[in-house]
Amino acid sequence: MTEMTFVRPEFRVRIDREACIKCGRCVHQCGWNVYHLDADDRPMPDHSKCAACHRCVTFCPADAITIEKNPLAYKESDSMSSGLRKAIWRQAETGGVLLTGMGTDKPYLRIFDHLLLDACQVTNPSIDPLREPMELRTFLGRKPDSIEVGYGNGDGGPPKLLTELDPQLMLETPIVFGGMSFGSVSLNVHRALAMAAKASGTFMNTGEGGLHADLEPYQDNIIVQCASGRFGVHADYLQAGAAVEIKIGQGAKPGIGGHLPGEKIDEQVSTTRMIPQGTDALSPAPHHDIYSIEDLRQLIYAIKEATGYKPVSVKIACVHNVAAIASGVVRAGADIVYLDGFKGGTGAAPTIIRDHVGIPIEIAIAVVDQRLRDEGIRNRASIVAAGGIRSSADIVKAIALGADACGVGTALLVAMGCHVCQKCHTGCCSWGITTQRPELTRRLDPEWGAERVSNLIRAWSHEIAEVLGAVGVNAIESLRGSRERLRALGLDQTTMDIIGVKQAGVGH
Amino acid sequence: MSARGLNRFGEADRRSAGRPYGGLPAPGSRSSDLVPRPEYTAEAEERILGGCGLMGVCDESGGRMSGELALRSMSSMHDRGNGLGGGFAGYGIYPDFPYAFCFHMLFNDDVGKDDTEYYLARHFVILHHEPIPSKSVRGIEDEPILWRYFLEISDERLAETQLSAEDYVVHSVMDINNHIKGAFVASSGRNMGAFKGVGFPEEIGEFYRLDEYRGWTWTGHGRFPTNTPGWWGGAHPFCLLDYSIVHNGEISSYGINQRYLEMFGYKCSMRTDTEVVTYLFDLLLRRHGLSVEIACKALASPFWKDIDLMEKEDRQLYTALRAVYGPALLNGPFAVVLGMGEGMVALSDRIKLRPLAAARKGTTVYVASEESAIREICPKPDLTWMPRAGEPVIARLEDGVNLATSAAYDAVA
Ligand code: SF4
Ligand code: SF4
């Protein structure tokens, strides 16, 4: 402990001294400098620095380390909880805004966990996904209301498509990778995600930090992002991806910009972002050329012109008026609306914003899908739902509520070792994920990471196929928006009305 | 889509106005609040599930067959139904009014009938109307008032509403079905009609005296609902304009099909799969102008693994078809027979979870749930086959057989 603080450590690091072989590995593995070796080469922990990221636990050859919750008792108060007391002490010490990483850890109602899926019995047979094809292929992009088919040269030859479709993103499974910038995550993470996207037949998203030259071979599986800071945005960058995403907002921090601390801006990040090394990378809260929906329209079409009309996705945070905003975004010309729910992850955000601003993705999907249908423009844009998608079950439910596909971020990092310790903003990630320190970033082998992520996507895809079979359909489009196949358990009537789902026990 | 409180012609919603005529007193009307009457949506609270038997026959040369044929074919599949619904559609049965839209109406009582007649008189020219002939049959009871109206639309009305005659009829059907209590349009096409009710199909056929009609296309249906609504309108075929659908199976994609149709202004208030299938055909064939073959490929699409192996042009076509019409894909077990002005189409789902057999003799095409039902009326077909999953069987009337569809074609061209 360096300075006097009231904030006692959250965890206690226990070392089994008999088991410890004094190899010193924990000292090297820890990104937070928890350990130092004493004169007898015994590792001595500084509990206050521990983030419970389990890096040392995983790599200790003697299985000698365990991390415990600090059992220190606080006088109970439901209203002034120990967490709040600690927050106040911390702010009394520093006078600063509390920062955090990852998605909110507050126990808000998780609507996904109150939705149950249907299955077939007798009157309609379920389909065995091991015997019959189960189709998850999904197209993101603007679709016409109808298509025109001609026959030969009007002389009754074979049928031929006359309507030219806008370019679509073809996904082999209804999952895309959420935007995570190089800078907030390491280049090896980007490499792993690009490889995994290619292997899984889907797309990774650069986030707002530009595209490193190493990723060029994966262009066809990359969506490039253009955010308010315009880091790394140039004509070639826009053309490099299969699609461009304009990031208006992020679910974890709606209404505010981004802040990448100077410590994370090394040479590579600086080149890719086109900013000086070591300076903080600040993305403004709004795009300073978008102050209205007309401005957004201009940017969308400027990008379309610059890219030869590639699909443009617009990422918005789910806020109270999300349905009307999404409708405006679609009318402004977006081909994809990327909805980011308030439980979405972040590399760094003020805790107050992360934990208190926005609305859940489940509700956002439902109201946006319904609004676009009411306005007859649902086919003009695809809906990607993100921000709080934790499992294949969430994906299936999101799709049944009306999403075309889901965006996942945190889960991919977890697949590569992240333990959701929520300290990404420190740049010290022991797992080499949200850090630029070379001794840490080299811990993540991109090929290993790609394999883990691909495995996860494959496993989830199999699980989605299982559900399709159980509900008796063999194509994902037959479940998409089919809220009839969902029932609610333990939701209030208003919520059920808003998401268009009936109470469990109500038949068809 | 029409604004709230307005009907599909932009007139005030009669219900929201508290009266069935947007405030206008109906001639000889009684207060419709006096007697609580079962509504058109009487079945709508629960979606109707169940298995069924079906048949269809079409003579492409336009030779007209007695309705007795369809009745006999259905009676051989007695056990596929449970007596809770049977019905038939016949085409070419009204040669005296080949161009008129014929509304087959089911009324719960005189009030529904009066209300409907007021509506029809206001929106159409009624060329002729009469009771639908029937005879009493053991097992058939509680029949509604059955009446048919041969209708034309005045040019002024069409000019006023800026609608095609077909759209005009669709709007009227939706108006009557959704807004007039105790009235249900069983069919609304030209030179065709639906004959349906609660009972076994052979009883229903006898009740409606089907043997007195002659038509070039017939479809039939016996129903096995897993609940017991006992409502005549709920029996098959379900009809809109010249389309009639008999259907065996359950559409597992109902939820999204219905929401997709809503986007195009269809109200699926009956909550039956059959209604959804009918509207999808109407949307794809009539409003989007797709051919029967292509529409069937949208509704029961080929698998991606097969599309990926196609030649470039086909691949583009089928990829676009699936990308654009994904929400229209009918998923789950079904076999349907679509009767239409131009002929007849039978289609099963993409992995054929419901039976469908087909046969041809000369210019006549037969389809049925069981081959025996075909052999019952055509003992020695030239050819019989089991259509593959998602492969439509199409019977196309020769040009000039159906004056209504050729005339409509001319008007468009
Ligand atoms: S890694 Fe384990 S065995 Fe090695 S020094 Fe640390 S606690 Fe001891
Ligand atoms: S990425 Fe690293 S720092 Fe962030 S939560 Fe995961 S393990 Fe912790």
Q: Min CA distance, B86 vs chain A (Å)?
A: 19
Residue in A390, A392, A389, A391 with CA at minimum distance from that of residue A463? A392
For residue range A439-486, list pLDDT tens digits in order: 999 999 999 999 999 999 999 999 999 999 999 999 999 999 999 999
Decide if pLDDT at A101 tops 90.
no
pLDDT of residue A209: 87
pLDDT of residue A256: 86
Pocket flag, ligand 2, residue A419 (CB < 6 Å): yes
- Which residue of B49, B259, B317 is in closest CB contact with A159? B317
Q: Whose CA is nearest to atom 6 of ligand 2?
A: A418
Say how many CA atoms lie within 13 Å of A470 toward its Cβ.
13
Whether B289 and A135 lie within 8 Å, measured CB to CB: no
Q: How far apart are CA B255 and CA B209, in angstroms?
A: 38
**At a CB cut-off of 8 Å and minimum separation 6, what does B251 contact?**
B257, B273, B276, B277, B330, B331, B332, B334
Assess A132–B contact: CB distance below 8 Å, yes or no: yes
pLDDT of residue B413: 36
Q: How far apart are CA A425 and CA A442, in angstroms?
A: 19
* C-alpha angle B286-B88-B66 in degrees, rounded to nearest 5: 110
Decide if pLDDT at A31 tops 60.
yes
DSSP secondary structure of A174-216: SEEEPP--BTTB-HHHHHHHHHHHHHHTS-EE-GGG---GGGG
Distance A79 CA to ligand 2 centre (A): 29
Best-predicted range by mean pLDDT among A117-126, A377-386, B11-20? A377-386
Whether B324 and A165 lie within 8 Å, measured CB to CB: yes
pTM for the model stands at 0.89
CA nearest to B313 within chain A = A160
Q: Tell me which residues of chain B have a pLDDT lower than 50.
A: 1-8, 10-49, 228, 408-413
pLDDT of residue B50: 53
| Mean per-residue pLDDT over chain A, rounded | 93
DSSP secondary structure of B137-199: -TT--S--EEEEEEEE--HHHHHHHT--HHHHHHHHHHHHHHHSTTEEEEE--BSEEEEEESS
End-to-end CA distance of chain A: 62
Strands A243-247 and A222-226: parallel
Q: Are B378 and B359 in contact (CB under 8 A)?
A: yes
Judged by its nearest atom, the ligand closest to the C-alpha of residue A64 is: 1
Q: How many residue contacts between A and B have a Cβ separation below 8 Å?
A: 128
Whether A124 and B1 lie within 8 Å, measured CB to CB: no
Strands B343-348 and A159-161: unpaired
pLDDT of residue B326: 96
- Which residue of A137, A473, A507 is in closest CB contact with B252? A473
Length in residues, chain A: 508
Fold entry, domain A169-503: TIM Barrel (3.20.20)
Between positions 471 and 500 of A, the ones with CB within 8 A of B are: 471-475, 477-485
Q: Min CA distance, B41 vs chain A (Å)?
A: 14
Judged by its nearest atom, the ligand closest to the C-alpha of residue A20 is: 1
pLDDT of residue B51: 62
Q: How far apart are CA A2 and CA B125, in angstroms?
A: 94
**At a CB cut-off of 8 Å and minimum separation 6, what does A156 contact?**
none
> Which CA distances in Å does B164 have to B59, B116, B411?
29, 22, 10
For residue range A244-263, list pLDDT tens digits in order: 999 999 999 988 888 888 88
Residue with tokens 């037969």: B366
Q: How far apart are CA B317 and CA A149, in angstroms?
A: 8
Distance A15 CA to ligand 1 centre (A): 8
Position B357: which residue type?
A
Distance A500 CA to ligand 2 centre (A): 36
Decide if pLDDT at A323 tops 80.
yes
Listed range (A229-243, A380-394, B34-48, B191-205) with the worst mean pLDDT: B34-48
Determine which helix (DSSP H) or strand (DSSP E) holds B231, and give its type and residue range. none
pLDDT of residue A217: 95
Mean pLDDT value of segment A416-427: 92
| Residue whose CB lies within 8 A of the most ligand 1 atoms, among A14, A16, A18, A23, for a mutation test | A23
Q: Min CA distance, B315 vs chain A (Å)?
A: 10
- The ipTM, to two decimals, is 0.88
Pocket flag, ligand 2, residue A101 (CB < 6 Å): yes
Q: Whose CA is nearest to atom 7 of ligand 2?
A: A418
Assess B301–A contact: CB distance below 8 Å, yes or no: yes
Residue in A192, A197, A191 with CA at minimum distance from that of residue A177? A197
* C-alpha angle A71-A72-A74 in degrees, rounded to nearest 5: 125
Q: Min CA distance, B224 vs chain A (Å)?
A: 10
Mean pLDDT value of segment A82-88: 94
Q: Are A408 and A178 in contact (CB under 8 A)?
A: yes
Assess B291–A contact: CB distance below 8 Å, yes or no: yes
Best-predicted range by mean pLDDT among A226-230, A232-236, B2-6, B356-360? B356-360
pLDDT of residue B230: 65
Q: Which residues of B touch A157 (CB under 8 A)?
A: none
Could you tell me the pLDDT band of residue A304, with boundaries at 50, 70 and 90?
very high
Whether A484 and B327 lie within 8 Å, measured CB to CB: no
DSSP secondary structure of A270-338: HHHHTS-TTS-EEE-SS-TT-SSHHHHHHHHHHHHHHHTS--EEEEEE--TTHHHHHHHHHHTT-SEEE
Mean pLDDT value of segment A386-394: 96
Nearest-Å Rg of the Cα atoms of chain B is: 20
Distance A264 CA to ligand 2 centre (A): 15
Structural domain boundaries in chain A: 11-96, 169-503
- Which residue of B271, B317, B327 is in closest CB contact with A160? B317
Nearest-Å Rg of the Cα atoms of chain A is: 24
Show the domains of chain B with their CATH numbers. Answer: 31-300+330-412 (3.60.20.10)
Asked if CATH classification 3.30.70.20 holds for the domain at A11-96, the reply, yes or no, is: yes
Which residues does a 6 A CB cutoff place in the pocket of ligand 1? Answer: A 15, 20-26, 43, 60-62, 64-65
Whether A474 and B1 lie within 8 Å, measured CB to CB: no
Strands A222-226 and A204-205: parallel
pLDDT of residue B229: 56
> Residue B239 catalytic?
no
